[in-house]
């Protein structure tokens, strides 16, 4: 092959790494929590906003990292929205939030992975 026909290597972007996307999702969870709490938004709406952020960030994450993002969202919501100073509780309401956030994150990650496989098929 001549040098002119050698394909240039594809440069990887930083956001191509799943760990970086997880970190960006966690930053978004914290930012949304802070913004909504400072604005005085009721707890139920804060949870809804965190659910939307978790779903959006889980689209491009592997299942295990999506679950971790769901747990992170729950910990932030339980520790700083329902309680104060990061105190985590395991009440019925808290566990319901945990199951919802992790379950939805896992579902979205699974569905998006299936869609990505279908798109890549020749």
Question: What is the per-residue pLDDT across 56-87, written as a single tens digit (0 to 9) for each?
Answer: 999 989 999 999 999 999 999 999 999 988 89
Structure tokens of 40? 């005085």
Does pLDDT of 25 surpass 70?
yes
pLDDT at 101: 96
Kindly report the pTM of this predicted structure: 0.82
Residue 45 near residue 35 (C-beta atoms within 8 A): no
Residue 81 near residue 43 (C-beta atoms within 8 A): yes
Tell me the average pLDDT across 78-97.
Answer: 91
pLDDT at 11: 73
Nearest residue to 55 via CA among 118, 103, 116: 103
């Amino acid at each position: 092959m001549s040098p002119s026909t050698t394909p240039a290597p594809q440069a990887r972007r930083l956001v191509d790494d799943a760990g970086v996307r997880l970190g960006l999702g966690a930053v978004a969870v914290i930012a949304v929590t802070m913004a909504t709490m400072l604005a005085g938004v009721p707890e139920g709406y804060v949870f809804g906003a965190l659910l939307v952020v978790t779903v959006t960030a889980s689209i491009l994450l592997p299942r295990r990292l999506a679950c971790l993002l769901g747990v992170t969202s729950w910990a932030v919501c339980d520790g700083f929205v329902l309680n104060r100073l990061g105190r985590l509780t395991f009440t019925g309401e808290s566990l319901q939030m945990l199951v919802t956030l992790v379950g939805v994150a896992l579902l979205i990650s699974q569905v998006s992975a299936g869609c990505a496989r279908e798109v890549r098929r020749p």
